[in-house]
A and B are shown apart, each in its own frame.
Chain A
Amino acid sequence: MTEKSSFGPFLLLSGKDNVLVARANSPEGLVVALEGGEVRLSRPIPMAHKIARHDIAPGDVILKYGMPIGIATGAIRAGEHVHVHNIRSAYTPTHMLQDADGRSAGVSL
Chain B
Amino acid sequence: MSEIQAFLRHDGRKGIRNTLVVAYLVECAHFVASEIVHQFRNTPHEGEVQLIGFPGCYPNEYAAQMMEKLCTHPNVGAVLFVSLGCESFDKVRAANAVDASGRPVKTLVIQRAGGTRSTIQAGADWIRQTLAQISEVPRVRMGVDELIIGTVCGGSDGTSGISGNPAAGKAFDLLVAEGAACIFEETGELIGCEEIMAERAITPELGNLLRESVHKAERYYATLGYGSFAAGNAAGGLSTIEEKSLGAYVKSGDSPISGLIKPGDVPPHGGLYLMDVVPDGDVRFGFPNISDNAEIVEMIASGAHMTLFVTGRGSVVGSAISPVIKICANPDTYRNLAEDMDVNAGDIIEGVRSIPEVGQEIRDLVVAVAAGKQTKSEELGHREFILTYKTFEPIGPACLPGAA
Contact between B242 and A95, CB atoms less than 8 A apart: no
Contact A89–B240 (Cβ < 8 Å): yes
Tell me whether A102 and B236 are in contact (CB under 8 A). Answer: yes
Q: Kindly identify which residue among A91, A93, A107 contacts B235, using a CB–CB cutoff of 8 Å.
A: A107
Find B159's partner among A47, A50, A88 (CB 8 Å cutoff). Answer: A47
The reply on A79 being an interface residue by CB < 8 A is no
Q: Which A residues lie at the B interface, using CB under 8 A?
A: 1, 11, 13, 21-25, 46-50, 62, 64-65, 67-70, 82-84, 87-97, 99-102, 105-107
Say whether A97 contacts B159, CB under 8 Å. no
B162 contacts the other chain (CB 8 A): yes
Q: A105 — which chain B residues lie within 8 A by C-beta?
A: 235
Asked whether A21 and B158 contact (CB < 8 A) given A70-B240, A83-B237, A92-B241, the answer is yes
Interface contact A67-B241, CB-CB below 8 Å = no
Contact of A95 with B192 in the complex, beta carbons under 8 Å: no
> Cβ of B312 < 8 Å from any Cβ of A?
yes
Q: Shortest Cβ distance from B67 into chain A, in angstroms?
A: 32
26 contacts between A and B (CB under 8 A): A22-B237, A47-B330, A47-B349, A48-B162, A48-B237, A64-B246, A67-B242, A69-B239, A70-B239, A70-B240, A82-B239, A83-B234, A84-B239, A89-B239, A91-B240, A91-B241, A94-B227, A94-B234, A94-B239, A94-B241, A95-B229, A95-B234, A99-B232, A100-B234, A102-B236, A102-B237
State in angstroms the CA–CA spacing of A21 and B329 once bound together. 14
Q: Does B378 contact A (CB under 8 A)?
A: no
Count of chain B residues near A, Cβ 8 A = 38
B234, A13: Cβ atoms closer than 8 Å: no
Partner of B312, one of A48, A82, A96: A48
CA of A47 to CA of B349, assembled, Å: 10
B242 / chain A contacts, CB cutoff of 8 Å: 67-70, 89-91
Which of B196, B225, B241, B247 has its CB near the most chain A CB atoms (within 10 A)? B241
Q: What residue in chain A is nearest B235 (Cβ atoms)?
A: A99
Instruction: How many A-B residue pairs have C-beta atoms within 8 angstroms? Tell me.
Output: 127
Contact (A88, B240) CB under 8 Å given A65-B161, A99-B235, A100-B235: yes
Known interface pairs A65-B246, A97-B231, A99-B231; A91-B237 also in contact (CB < 8 Å): no
Say yes or no: is B243 at the interface (Cβ < 8 Å to chain A). yes
Please list the 3 inter-chain residue pairs (A to B) with the smallest Cβ-Cβ separation, ordered nearest first. A48-B158, A69-B243, A89-B240
Q: Does B122 contact A (CB under 8 A)?
A: no
Which of B211-236 touch A at CB < 8 Å?
218, 221-222, 225-227, 229-232, 234-236
Contact A67 B246 (CB under 8 A): yes
Contact with A along B325-352 (1 / 0, CB 8 A): 0000011100000000000000001100
- Hey, which chain A residues are within 8 Å of B226, CB to CB? 92, 95
B239 adjacent to A83 (CB under 8 Å): yes
The docked-state distance in angstroms from the alpha carbon of A107 to that of B336 is 12
**Contact of A91 with B191 at beta-carbon distance under 8 Å, contacts A47-B332, A67-B246, A68-B242 already known:** yes
Q: Is B166 an interface residue (CB 8 A)?
A: yes
> Contact between A92 and B227 (Cβ–Cβ < 8 Å)?
yes
Does chain A have a CB within 8 A of B173? Answer: no
Question: Is the Cβ of A96 less than 8 Å from the Cβ of B237?
Answer: no
> When chains A and B are docked, how far (Å) is the Cα of A91 from the Cα of B239?
12
The answer to whether B227 and A91 touch across the interface, beta carbons within 8 angstroms, is: yes
Q: Let me know if B239 and A87 touch, CB within 8 A.
A: yes
B residues less than 8 Å from A107 (CB atoms): 235-236
Q: Tell me which of A48, A96, A99 has the highest count of chain B C-beta atoms within 10 A of its own C-beta.
A: A48
Are B240 and A11 in contact (CB-based, < 8 A)?
Answer: no
**Residue of B with least CB distance to A96:** B234
Q: Which residue of B lies closest to A48 (CB)?
A: B158
A48 to B191, CA, bound (A): 21
- Residues of chain A within 8 A (CB-CB) of B185 are none
| Chain A residues positioned under 8 Å from B332 (CB to CB) | 25, 47
Q: Mark B11-22, 1 if CB is under 8 A from A, else 0.
A: 000000000000
CB pair B191–A11 under 8 Å, yes or no, is no
A75 to B250, CA, bound (A): 30
Query: Contact at A92–B162, with CB atoms within 8 Å?
Result: no
Q: With A and B bound together, what is the CA distance between A1 and B250 in angstroms? A: 10
Interfacial chain B residues near A101, Cβ < 8 Å: 235
Residues of chain B from 101 to 147 with CB closer than 8 A to chain A in the complex:
none
B191, B239, B241, B243 interface centre (most CB from chain A within 10 Å): B239
Q: Is B157 an interface residue (CB 8 A)?
A: yes
The smallest C-beta distance from B221 to any residue of chain A, in angstroms, reads 6
- Cβ of A99 to closest chain B Cβ, rounded Å: 4
* B window 176-235: CB within 8 A of A: 191-193, 196, 218, 221-222, 225-227, 229-232, 234-235
